[in-house]
Structure 1
Amino acid sequence: MTDWAWDYNPSAEYITDGLPPGVVAEVERLATELAALGHDSVKVGRPFDREGGLREFDILGGRGFISFLAVPRHECVYVCNVTWYG
């Protein structure tokens, strides 16, 4: 277990506006799991060929994806965007 946290960037209202509640719950569940990975979260998702930077991870069987930034210096995973094809 790590001391990492997660947050929305720029804000929860901006990123989750108009999303179904189930999608928001899944995004928050995944963000919690990414934070639990700690520094290893810089390796999760796309792109596969490098670490760090803005990462993408499929949600709900490919019906959308989240873009997130894992920042080791802040010990935080920032959810930057949610794309939902619903």
Structure 2
Amino acid sequence: MTDWSWDWNPSEEYLTDGVPPGVVAEVERLTTELAALGPDSVRVGRPIDREGGLREFDLLGGRGFISFLPVPRHACVYVCNITWYG
């Protein structure tokens, strides 16, 4: 377990507007697990050929994805976008 946390960027209201509650719950679950990875979260998801920067991770079997930014300096994973195809 690490001391990393996660947060919404820019805000929860902005990112979750129009997204079903079950999908929001899955995003929160995934980002909690990403934060538990700590510094290793810079290698999770796409792109697979490099570390760091804005990353993507599939949601619910490819029915959408989240874009997240792990920032080691802040010890935080920021959720930056939720794309849901439904």
So what's the TM-score if we normalise by structure 1?
A: 1.00
Please state whether the residue corresponding to 2:29 is helix, strand or coil: helix
Distance in 2 (CA, whole Å) between partners of 1:22 and 1:16 is 11
Matches within 5 A, 1:28-43: 28-43=28-43
What residue is the counterpart of 2:80 in the other structure? 80
Distance in 2 (CA, whole Å) between partners of 1:29 and 1:16 is 14
What residue is the counterpart of 1:67 in the other structure? 67
Distance in 2 (CA, whole Å) between partners of 1:49 and 1:84 is 25
- Give the percent of matched residue pairs that are identical in Structure 1 and Structure 2: 85
Deviating above 6 A after TM superposition, structure 1's stretches of 4 or more consecutive aligned residues are: none
Instruction: Name stretches of at least 5 consecutive residues in structure 2 with no aligned partner.
Output: none
Distance in 1 (CA, whole Å) between partners of 2:12 and 2:31 is 13
Aligned length: 86
Distance in 2 (CA, whole Å) between partners of 1:49 and 1:61 is 22
So what's the TM-score if we normalise by structure 2?
A: 1.00
Please state whether the residue corresponding to 1:49 is helix, strand or coil: coil
RMSD (Å) for aligned C-alpha atoms: 0.2
Shift of 1:6: 0.1
